[in-house]
Amino acid sequence: MNTNLWALLFGIVGGVAGGMGMGGGTLLVPLLSMLDIEQKIIQAINLLSFLPMSIIAVIIHKKHGLIQGKVLLPCIIPTMIVGTMGALLASSARNNVLRFCFAVYLLAVGVWQTVLSVIAYKKAHLRKQRAMRVIACPTYTQLKAKKRIRRLAV
């Protein structure tokens, strides 16, 4: 398969993830790195592909009432400032340093998401156990009611 076909496929995968708000670049950057492209070029491709996709995704999310104005501005302003500083820093960094930084970032996000998933699973499992305990261990009042029903049935 040629590079353009792979890039098209990777763009589709990144676009689906990005449109869902899951960080399309988180998938697109590692996938494009398999094509032996320089890290700086990969990051530029990621940023440029993000623009049209994010505009469409914002319109859809706005239509469904998923954008909260109270959180939006405090998040956007520092992102623009620090993003500019990050772009300047990345332009002067070596490719292997950028690749390493992205790998550390992905690892940290993976660990964090795993921890959150384990916590959520444990909470759900505890809730299920508590519910089963209530069903398996009737209260004193429930036992008395069963005895009354048995007496009435006889």
pLDDT, greater one: 45 or 18: 45
DSSP states along the chain: --HHHHHHHHHHHHHHHHHTTS-HHHHHHHHHHTTT--HHHHHHHHHHHHHHHHHHHHHHHHHTT---HHHHHHHHHHHHHHHHHHHHHHHHS-HHHHHHHHHHHHHHHHHHHHHHHHHHHHHHHHHHHHHHHHHHS--HHHHHHHHHHHHHH-
pTM of the full structure: 0.58
Cα atoms in the Cβ-side hemisphere of radius 13 Å centred on 29: 23
Residue 19 has a pLDDT of: 65
What is the residue extent of each domain of the chain? 3-93
Asked whether residue 121 carries a pLDDT value surpassing 80, the answer given is: yes
Residue 26 has a pLDDT of: 77
